[in-house]
Chains A and B, each alone.
Chain A
Amino acid sequence: MWANNKITGLLLVLLLAFLTQQGWATQITVSKNGSISSIKEGVDRAEPGDTLIIKEGRYEEHSITVDKQMTILGEGNVQIDGNRQGFVIIIRADDVTLKNVEVMHASTSFMEDYAGILVKETDGAVIENVTLTDNYFGIYLAKSSNALIKNNHITASMKRETQSGNAIHLWYSKDIRIEDNYMKGHRDGLYFEFVDGATIKGNLSEENIRYGIHFMYSDNCRYEDNTFRDNGGGVAVMYTSNVEIINNRFEDNWGSSAYGLLLKEINRSKIVGNEFYNNSVGLYIEATSRNEIRHNTFHQNGWAVKLMANSTDNMFTENNFIANSFEVATNSMKNYNEFNNNYWSHYEGYDLDRDGIGDVPHRPVRLFSILVEKQPQSLLLLRSLLIDILDAAERIMPVLTPETLVDSQPKMTKVS
């Protein structure tokens, strides 16, 4: 009886709390032919905690500043056009939610980073199902935390790096989740600087002018199930420790300085289960140490891995190298990294004891890759009989290729 009373009491309190909440949170409707016809006015009239509903229509407004906690929802096809006059929406309060609108035409500038949506010094912002079209920067987060950026469609159509900002730009932010977004035609698809603990999952970033994703000084982030395709320079990540890059796809990045994934000074990180397909260089590694590179598949790249000699103690295990023009290239006779248990489709050894491990070690660095490193024009002789003969001779008696860069236990079949 006593317990029952307690539960009833608790329910009563909860109900009261719910009612009062309802009582406080009013709903304000903005529509083209209603009493409130501008979003700015709607935001001004709202009290903290209110919900602003925007009805279908085209609103030509810019610098809409959201300075209190509120929820903004679009109904139908809502277009907010900044007409290239600065920022379009500026969020400066905690716990603001923005959903189902289209934001377009933030202005382009050399002085100011104008963005479709600027989120500045806030906590807990939610930006979901927003379409951003032809903005300079798409979504710009500065000094914010715990934000969720989900399911947005961000495109731009400028041709030059200076005319275009980044689709999602994070600066000094913490614990951000970025999920299932689509980014196309910006300078960088995703750009992080001084970000900590972000999760980036299920995004597709393609045909951006510079990089699909570009981050620096952003420790403890996790990148999972993203696809980066046909970006001008591929993907470049730098000066960061402890990142997890898992199950992503890097494909179709072609060009003399295009990399599936470029690592520069990345330490103590995991690169696991990714697929590198049809890039000029799959994975470029420079001044990068103590990383685990495992279970990746390198398929039909020009160079599967370019490993610069200032990288040390990286572990390459159980990767698949399939039909790449070059498997591993390096710029030195020395090697301080370890290759073990990978599958190499160029492997020519045998497995007499049938344990699935080749009996002869595999040397993934061809003599020819060193020739090409010295004289790039000689690339034209790829697949020549002469080159095959030279490679075979070098494989038997390594003179110019690093002697320690060797997989002593190459797998005979693909790692699944």
Chain B
Amino acid sequence: MKAMTILKYQWKDLFRGKWIIGYGLIYLLMADAMIRFGGTGTKAMLSISNIMLLLIPLVGMIYGALYLYQSREFTELLLAQPLDRPTLFWGLFGGLAAPLALAYTAGIGIPMLYTGMILTANLQSIFVILVLGNVLTLLFTGLGFWLGLKFFNDRIKGLGFALVSWLFLAVIYDGLVLLAIFLLGDYPIEEPMLGMAMLNPIDLARITVLLEFDISALMGYTGAVFNRFFGSMLGITVASGCLALWLGIPLWRGKSLFNEKDF
């Protein structure tokens, strides 16, 4: 209950800052443009999911860390109140992640509503994009929180780590996978590759998008491991399980850091 009160105050604070509105507007404009120029079909949804995979991890992580730094006084003020630490942590986290998720959902959803895309397009695909975006927002805000708490007194370090982590997960990691494929391509490396993809939340989200939009291409691949993985519910189950782990672990680590922290 108390967590909800904190969440409410933060909510007001965020909207007063206008930043979150701008963030939602970016999605709104992009989704609008995509649907306007790409039609209400698969193409627009693919473009939207590409933006989602690019923007959400970056913004979530940077803003997660940044917000902790910005609201240091607010946090310290709250700590003086009769509140236990976990309540405060969930209040702070929820107060940031929920508006970010809402901004995304509204930014993507509203153009889909007023263009009538929701009536014509594949509802399952829309559902996948919306759910995945929300999960990614929670996940990377959590990661940002964790990094922010870890380097609470050294802001440059915290933000730097957030940026570098994003770059690593979004680009460098895939480069390493590609390198591994070309070095070890003659061996049966499908299973290790799937394992590697599971270790990176952006890749996980990307593979979920592939399962939704590019299944016909994936089924064109000869490897039995891929086909078995992608051709069944197994793929979606394993992918969402790993995403849940990725969501849970940073939050759990962040919470224990927050519990023990001497502010």
Q: CB within 8 Å of B: which residues of A?
A: 254-256, 258, 278-281, 300-303, 322-323, 325-326, 345, 371, 374-389
Q: Which residue of A lies closest to B186 (CB)?
A: A375
A256-B220, A303-B220, A375-B182 are known contacts. Are A383 and B214 too (CB-CB below 8 A)?
yes
Task: Please state if B216 and A325 are interface contacts (CB–CB under 8 Å).
Answer: yes
Which residues 221-238 of B have a CB within 8 angstroms of A? 221-223, 226-227
Q: What residues of A have a CB within 8 angstroms of the CB of B223 in the complex?
A: 376-377
The yes or no answer to B54 lying at the interface (CB within 8 A) is yes
Q: Could you tell me the distance between the alpha carbons of A323 and B223 in the complex, rounded to whole angstroms?
A: 24
| CB-CB nearest 6 A-B residue pairs | A302-B217, A280-B220, A325-B217, A386-B174, A256-B222, A323-B42
Please state if B210 and A280 are interface contacts (CB–CB under 8 Å). no
Task: Decide if A389 touches B206 in the complex (CB within 8 Å).
Answer: no
A386 neighbours in B (Cβ, 8 Å): 170-172, 174-175, 178
Q: Are B189 and A325 in contact (CB under 8 A)?
A: no
The main secondary structure of chain B at its interface with chain A is helix
**B178 and A302 contact, CB distance less than 8 A:** no
The answer to whether B53 and A385 touch across the interface, beta carbons within 8 angstroms, is yes
Name the residue of chain A whose CB is nearest to the CB of B167. A385
Chosen A-B contacts, 14 in total, with CB atoms closer than 8 Å, are: A255-B220, A258-B219, A301-B216, A322-B42, A323-B43, A323-B213, A325-B214, A371-B178, A376-B221, A377-B221, A379-B218, A379-B221, A383-B214, A386-B171
Question: How far does the alpha carbon of A338 sit from the alpha carbon of B136 in the complex, in Å?
Answer: 43
**B217 engages A381 (CB within 8 Å):** no
Total chain B interface residues with beta-carbon distance under 8 A: 41
Nearest A residue to B225, CB-CB? A377
B174 contacts A323, C-beta separation under 8 Å: no
Q: A301-B216, A303-B217, A387-B174 are in contact. List 17 more A-B contacts (CB 8 A).
A: A254-B219, A278-B216, A279-B216, A280-B216, A280-B217, A323-B213, A325-B217, A375-B185, A377-B193, A378-B181, A380-B177, A380-B226, A382-B214, A383-B206, A384-B174, A385-B170, A386-B171
Residues on the A chain within 8 Å of B42, using CB: 300, 322-323
Across-interface contacts of B41 in A (CB, < 8 A): 322-323
The docked-state distance in angstroms from the alpha carbon of A381 to that of B206 is 9
Task: Give the distance to chain B from A373, nearest Cβ to Cβ, in Å.
Answer: 12
With a cutoff of 8 Å between Cβ atoms, the chain A residues found around residue B54 in the complex are 385
Task: Name the contact of B171 in the complex, choosing from A300, A375, A389 (C-beta under 8 A).
Answer: A389
Smallest Cβ-Cβ distance to B177: which chain A residue: A381
Contact residue among A280, A345, A380, A389 (Cβ-Cβ distance under 8 Å from B207): A380
Contacts A323-B42, A325-B214, A380-B207; is A256 near B178 (CB within 8 Å)? no
- Cβ of B87 under 8 Å from chain A: no
B197 at the interface (CB under 8 A from A): yes
Shortest C-beta distance, B104 to chain A (Å), equals 18
Q: Does B149 contact A (CB under 8 A)?
A: no
Q: Does B241 contact A (CB under 8 A)?
A: no
Establish whether residues A302 and B219, one from each chain, have CB atoms under 8 Å apart when the complex forms: yes
From 153 to 168 in chain B, residues with beta carbon under 8 angstroms from any chain A beta carbon are none
- Residue contact B43 to A383, C-beta cutoff 8 Å: no
**Shortest distance between the CB of A319 and any CB in chain B (Å):** 16
Say whether B190 faces chain A, with CB atoms less than 8 Å apart: yes
Q: How far apart sit A278 and B122, CA to CA, in the bound complex (Å)?
A: 14
**What's the least CB distance linking A383 to chain B, in Å?**
6
Decide if B50 is an interface residue (CB 8 Å cutoff): yes
Collect the chain B residues with CB atoms within 8 Å of residue A376's CB: 221-223
Question: Which residues of chain B come closer than 8 Å to A325, judged between CB atoms?
Answer: 213-214, 216-217
Judge whether B139 is part of the interface by a CB distance below 8 angstroms: no
Contacts of B209 in A (CB 8 A): 383
B190 close to A377 (CB less than 8 A): yes
Q: Is B22 an interface residue (CB 8 A)?
A: no
> Inside 8 A of A382's CB, which chain B residues have their CB?
210, 214, 217
Rounded to whole angstroms, the CA-CA distance of A54 and B210 in the bound complex is: 57
Contacts of A377 in B (CB 8 A): 181, 185, 189-190, 193, 221, 223
CA distance A180 to B21 in the complex (A): 58
Known contacts A255-B219, A345-B38; A380/B197 CB under 8 A: yes
Residues of B near A384 (CB, < 8 A) are 174, 203, 206
Contact B216 A302 (CB under 8 A): yes
